[in-house]
Amino acid sequence: MGKVISLINLKGGVGKTTTTVALAEFLTFEKGKKVLVIDLDPQTNATVMLINQKVWKKANDNKRTIHQMFLDKLNNTDYFDIRKSIIKGVSSINGGIPNLDLLPSSIDLLDAQDRIPMINQMNSFAPSPITVLANCLTQELIDEYDYILIDCPPNLGVITLNGIYLSDYYLIPVVADILSTYGIPQIKDRINKVSDNIKLINRTYNIKPLGIVITKYRMQSRMHRETRDDLISRSKLPETDKSSVPKVFKDYIKETTRISESTDIDVKINTLKQKYGYSQQVYDAYESITNEFILRAK
């Protein structure tokens, strides 16, 4: 039975997309799992980290992106086919990893995102604005994968809630500073409220926090050290405590300029060691986080 995990943070630039792609590549290439990445973010960063722009343009021109999925509901059309839209064997590693697939996003989604909350107002037969993805991604399709990783926009709007509605877990990548961690209680509170509403129509719905992954960590930064210690302390508080946060993953991703360089899809790489092994500490951290991810998502 496939597990669905949304990666979210209210702040951009925290390594959310890089973490999504790295997890997907480690789960598939190193652990032999089958993974689908769904890019819900109009910025399309996960998409262009996993396929080149020519492949993306062809998909976009053929109405095979997340944008068309929402557009069909807005315009009462029926162009989007999720199975035809999933791109097989993506990644810059070894010409693509056979068991890593992608449902791409599109920058065109920026033009439609403000209208998406009005979907069921414009068409009385349309689904709720937060169930558009769920109506396409059937349980049968979910169960073809071990994990489905959803890269969400840096907000808790309707597009992100499409991911939350489907998810078994949510994962929060953060930089260990005040701005990046400030919104964690809001994320937890908002998801709890949405979860209560979803349970009214689906009693089995039970989304849980998978945890917090610290990225871009600078050991020499006093703020980073103190913030990490604070998160760990708050993760031990009772869930009913408003200042509590999800459990922090044991390892963290060290900040390095080479991480951004490794996201270039046009750089041909044969192994994960080549892509992430520029620092043994970074490679080991991703492997450790992947192992912990598998244990937590059981």
Chain segment 198-239, per-residue pLDDT in tens: 998 888 999 999 999 999 999 899 999 999 999 999 999 998
Average pLDDT over residues 90-108: 96
pLDDT at 127: 66
Average pLDDT over residues 157-175: 96
pLDDT at residue 118 is higher than 90: no
Lowest mean pLDDT among 188-202, 241-255, 259-273: 259-273
Who wins on pLDDT, 117 or 245?
Answer: 245
DSSP assignment of 128-172 equals PTTSHHHHHS-HHHHTTSSEEEEE--SS-SHHHHHHHHH-SEEEE
Question: Per the structure block, which two tokens stand in for 75?
Answer: 């315009």
Hunting for tokens 């760990």 — which residue is that?
A: 232
The domain segmentation of the chain, as residue ranges, is 3-296
Question: Per the structure block, which two tokens stand in for 66?
Answer: 């997340």
Q: Place 258 in a pLDDT band, splitting at 50, 70 and 90.
A: low
Residue 84 is inside which H or E element, if any? helix 82-85
CA 123, CA 72: separation in Å to the nearest integer? 11
Amino acid at position 264, single letter: D
Please name which of 98, 78, 71 lies closest in space to residue 87, comparing C-alpha atoms. Answer: 98
Sign of CA dihedral 264, 267, 270, 276: negative
Name 282's Cβ contacts closer than 8 Å, sequence gap at least 6: 253, 254, 256, 258, 259, 276
Give buried/exposed letters for 197-234 (b at 16+ CB in 10 A, else e): ebeeeeeebebebbbbbbbbbeeeeeebeebbeebeeb
Q: Place 242 in a pLDDT band, splitting at 50, 70 and 90.
A: confident
pLDDT at residue 191 is higher than 70: yes
C-alpha dist (Å) from residue 226 to 24, 74, 105, 140: 30, 47, 37, 45
pLDDT at residue 164 is higher than 70: yes
Whole-number percent of the chain with pLDDT over 70 = 94
Question: Per the structure block, which two tokens stand in for 183?
Answer: 């919104």
Contact predicate 79/63, CB 8 Å = yes
What does residue 27 show for φ and ψ, rounded to 5 degrees? -65, -35
Question: Per the structure block, which two tokens stand in for 76?
Answer: 């009462």
* Number of other residues whose CB lies within 10 A of the CB of residue 153: 23
Instruction: Tell me the pLDDT tens digit for each residue of 270-284.
Output: 888 888 866 678 899
Please name which of 211, 237, 222, 243 lies closest in space to residue 177, comparing C-alpha atoms. Answer: 222
- Domain 3-296 classification at class level: alpha beta
CA 48, CA 274: separation in Å to the nearest integer? 19
pLDDT at 261: 53
